[in-house]
């Protein structure tokens, strides 16, 4: 497992989605990705949310704002737990949300209490074995018919296939275009097929995995390649090779 110490405060201030808004307000301002996720996950007032790998805790705050019956975050980084406490304080919801310092492979939560489990930018940070254990645990804490919702990036095909093909035309490009954080922490980047299979092996049903809308081209070394990515994104057959993120949802059978 990637050591928790690597997920220090600098990581959450520099690399984790929504860091610009959090840094500007120390937790008083929340990025739009979090209400967007809850909308896509069909979150309803009164439901119990468990957010695995909650990071700075923004998902908990948004869930409470939207009427969660209970909002629980699980996080194994002490730095992130401290930042979550700050978020909850800034949002004035310390008494209405809970943060647990714990491991998603063995979640310290009773069976069948959650209506919705979210895993946002977490899947790629868990090895295949760790991901399986986390998904089995997510299923355990869900009520019958409860849902899991995940977002992961990058779609690994943009690196393992598309970039390699383009590099045949640009041999001076770096062999690995990933940034330092990705090289260290992304131990299990996903394709749509692998994510679907992981959910199925963990016992979930009604599985839906789909491409997002993010055409991630920041890592490409020249404008020619960026333009090519943009054009390819408009073609249905090529979109899986250039879209940078994946969404998945499934239900406990």
Identify the CATH homologous superfamily for domain 4-155+188-216+243-252: Vaccinia Virus protein VP39 (3.40.50.150)
pLDDT of amino acid 88: 97
Q: How far apart are the two ends of the chain, measured CA to CA in Å?
A: 29
Q: Is pLDDT at 182 greater than 90 in this prediction?
A: yes
Q: What is the pTM of this model?
A: 0.95
Q: Is pLDDT at 10 greater than 90 in this prediction?
A: yes
pLDDT of amino acid 69: 97
What confidence tens digit (pLDDT) does each residue in 192-222 have? 999 999 999 999 999 999 999 999 899 999 9
Distance CA 74, CA 77 (A): 9
What confidence tens digit (pLDDT) does each residue in 131-159 have? 999 999 999 999 999 999 999 999 999 99
What confidence tens digit (pLDDT) does each residue in 100-131 have? 999 999 999 999 999 999 999 999 999 999 99
All residues at 6 or more sequence positions from 15 whose CB lies less than 8 Å from its CB, including other chains: 181
Q: How high does pLDDT run on average in the chain?
A: 96
As a whole number, mean pLDDT of residues 40-69 equals: 98
What confidence tens digit (pLDDT) does each residue in 33-43 have? 999 999 999 99
Tell me the DSSP string of the chain: ---GGGS-HHHHHHTSTTHHHHHHHTTSS--THHHHHHHHTT--TT-EEEEET-TTSHHHHHHHHTT-SEEEEEE--HHHHHHHHHHHHHHT-TTT-EEEE-BTTB--S-SS-EEEEEEES-GGGS-HHHHHHHHHHHHHHEEEEEEEEEEE--BTHIIIIIIHHHHHH-TTS-S----HHHHHH-SS-B-HHHHHHHHHHTTEEEEEEEE-S----TT-SSHHHHHHHHHHTTSTTTHHHH---EEEEEEE-
pLDDT of amino acid 126: 98
Percent share of the chain, pLDDT over 70? 100
What is the pLDDT confidence band of residue 1, given thresholds at 50, 70 and 90?
Answer: confident
């Amino acid at each position: 497992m990637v050591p928790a110490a690597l997920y220090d405060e600098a990581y959450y201030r520099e690399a984790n989605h929504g860091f610009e808004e959090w840094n500007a307000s120390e937790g008083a301002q929340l990025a739009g990705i979090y209400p967007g996720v809850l909308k896509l996950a069909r979150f309803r007032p009164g439901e119990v949310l468990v957010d695995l790998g909650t990071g700075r805790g923004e998902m908990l705050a948004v869930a409470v704002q939207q009427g969660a019956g209970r909002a629980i975050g699980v996080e194994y980084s002490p730095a992130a737990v401290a930042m979550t406490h700050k978020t909850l304080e800034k949002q004035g919801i310390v008494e209405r949300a809970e943060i647990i310092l714990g491991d998603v492979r063995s979640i310290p939560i009773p069976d069948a209490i959650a209506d919705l489990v979210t895993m946002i930018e977490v899947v790629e940070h868990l090895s295949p074995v760790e991901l399986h254990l986390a998904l089995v645990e997510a299923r355990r804490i869900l009520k019958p018919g409860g849902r899991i919702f995940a977002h992961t990036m990058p779609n690994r095909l943009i690196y393992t296939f598309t970039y390699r093909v383009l590099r045949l035309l640009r041999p001076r490009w770096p062999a690995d275009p990933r940034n330092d954080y990705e090289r260290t922490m992304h131990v299990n980047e996903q394709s749509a097929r692998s994510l679907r299979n992981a959910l199925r092996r963990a016992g979930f049903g009604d599985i839906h995995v789909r491409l997002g809308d993010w055409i991630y081209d920041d890592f490409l070394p020249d404008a020619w390649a960026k333009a090519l990515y943009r054009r390819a994104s408009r073609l249905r057959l090529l979109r899986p090779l250039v879209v940078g993120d994946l969404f998945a949802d499934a239900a406990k059978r």
